[in-house]
Amino acid sequence: MRKTLLLFMGIAIVFLFLNQQARGQNQASKLRAAEDGLALTPPMGWYPWNEFGQEPQNEKLIKEIVDALISSGLKDAGYVYVGPDEGICFSRGADGKLIANLAHYPSGLRGLGDYIHQRGLKYALYTDAGTRTCSKAMPGTKDHEVEDMAAFAAWRADDVKVDWCNTDGQDPAQTYTRLRDAQLAAGRPIVFSLCSWGVGEPWKWAASVGHLWRTTGDICGPGKADWSTAMKNTAENEKLFAAAGPGHWNDPDMLINGMDGLSATQNRSFFSLWCMMAAPLMAGNDLRKMTASTIQILTNREAIGIDQDPLGIQGHIVRREGQAEIWAAKRLFDGSQAVLVFNSGTTQAEVRVTWPDVGSAQSAALYVRNLWTHQTTGPRRGGITVTVPPRDVALLRISESSAFPRPPVIVADSYWVSFHAPDPGPQKFTKAITVKTTGSDELPRWKVLPGLPSWLTVAVTKHGKSQTLASTVSTAGLAKGLYHAVVRADNIEPVSGQPMSALYYDVDLEVAGGGGKN
């Protein structure tokens, strides 16, 4: 009866470990995301490498960054994946298993993940496909794929980035496919992020292996942004637009916004280019020390809406005029078109964007929204002329309608629910997490999926722009012990009808006390 009710209330599936393994392997030739619903828009979050390198990283820094990510408003803008990258996280024990570096991470790597999950963020960990990581301070996964991926699952990572240092003689496609299989066997839904810097041309084969792949070398060394490398990465990534789509992204590397070495104009232009390329938006700056301008750029929801558009199209250069690039071919979920005019030169540019540039007839009457000034003009016929200062941009949305809706951004207060039953007698407990929409006013439609384990039910209730996901556990018939499930909730973007990235959260139940069966 309760299960029938659940179907009407609209939620969720639990991926049991063995099921996941079998399903994952059967689907190996398909898009990863078609199976797990992860990263259907480009992942957003924060990694330390650009600002901090490998050192001095520790639990204190990551926790301070997590707190800053929330208090600065980045979390509400959609930045969710966070973790230590190559933060000297673990070593390998004599038994071959990974051991968390408790000197740097006193709560352990599971403890750090719990801190992140409790705050409604997702946990990203890092490793390497070779014998050692890039700094050589940590072991790589070579010949330890299965036990390492099991460790990441046990630490409850939601994202694993796999680097490509110290891989002499290894084939990228074979290596990452082996890691994919090991990661699926570990049974935890995880965003799988390939970091071979373009080695092995992952855009040709990795859509069935991972959710995103680096297309370029590092965008900067620790501590200082580098404009010319950012432009090189842009040019290399731009050409690969056909490979990108929901669940399979080209990754031209982390954001350099807010770092030393960029002007305010360059910051805005850089962010616009990344949004236009549907690139992952992993901030790389020190979130504890952001200027108002950096926050304003990183949280510009209208620009982010271009990046996070549910259709997942990577825009590209359709035309050049002198040193100005006209980026287009990025249709958005409501039928509007994103356009970027980027002046890469050192003198002012005046550029006419014509309606045929955005696939419309010259005679069409279209509205133009400027995504940095937040002003709409029109309807206009024929086109619009923009004046763009050196290294600056005009980031526009062009539409037959003046509405310009933004896609929903799902923000949760927690991704972890835990219960303690003091004894194994039949008892029920309920705890809810709240999920709000900070993008559009339109609420996503929750999709009904079967498959919860017998001790767990989940009910979704809508309250205006938020929903609660209430988990009820029943200890009836359960032996003493620890029970864990990962709940999956799918939903559909209401304007386009596109699936949105699946929402996953952990549920733990500890049945304590005497008299249990085990």
Any contact of residue 79 with ligand GLA (CB under 6 A)?
no
Residues 1-40 that bind ligand GLA (CB under 6 A): none
Report the run of H or E that residue 59 belongs to, with start and end. Answer: helix 59-71
Any contact of residue 135 with ligand GLA (CB under 6 A)?
yes
Choice from 65, 124, 134, 341 touching ligand GLA (CB under 6 A): 134
Q: Where are the beta strands (DSSP E) in 456-511?
A: 456-463, 466-474, 481-492, 503-511
As a whole number of angstroms, the distance between CA 204 and CA 295 comes to: 35
CB of 49 to ligand GLA, least distance (A): 4
Report the run of H or E that residue 250 belongs to, with start and end. Answer: strand 249-251
Total chain residues near ligand GLA (CB under 6 A): 10
Any contact of residue 86 with ligand GLA (CB under 6 A)?
yes
Are 118 and 162 in contact, with CB atoms under 8 Å apart? no
Any contact of residue 49 with ligand GLA (CB under 6 A)?
yes
CB of 136 to ligand GLA, least distance (A): 10
CB of 253 to ligand GLA, least distance (A): 7
Place of tokens 């297309």: 215
CB of 195 to ligand GLA, least distance (A): 5
Q: Where are the beta strands (DSSP E) in 355-463?
A: 365-370, 375-381, 383-388, 393-399, 410-412, 416-421, 428-437, 445-447, 456-463
- Site track for ligand GLA across 136-165, x = CB under 6 A: ---------------------------x--
Question: Cα-atom radius of gyration of the chain, to the nearest Å?
Answer: 23
* Catalytic residue chosen out of the listed positions 114, 163, 181, 490: 163
**62 secondary structure, DSSP code:** H
**Helix ranges (DSSP H) in 240-311:** 264-276, 292-298, 301-307
307 included as an active-site residue = no
Choice from 38, 82, 195, 394 touching ligand GLA (CB under 6 A): 195
Are 47 and 124 in contact, with CB atoms under 8 Å apart? yes
CB of 112 to ligand GLA, least distance (A): 17
Specify the residue, 120 or 258, whose C-beta has the smaller distance to ligand GLA: 258
Q: How far is CA 236 from CA 216, 219, 240, 330, in A?
A: 7, 12, 7, 18
Specify the residue, 133 or 399, whose C-beta has the smaller distance to ligand GLA: 133
Q: What distance, in Å, lies between the first and last C-alpha atoms of the chain?
A: 29
| β-strands 365-370, 375-381 pairing | antiparallel
Choice from 41, 54, 343, 491 touching ligand GLA (CB under 6 A): 54
- Site track for ligand GLA across 197-236, x = CB under 6 A: x--------------------x------------------
218 included as an active-site residue = yes
Known catalytic residues are: 163, 218
* Positions that interact with ligand GLA (CB under 6 A): 49, 54, 85-86, 134-135, 163, 195, 197, 218
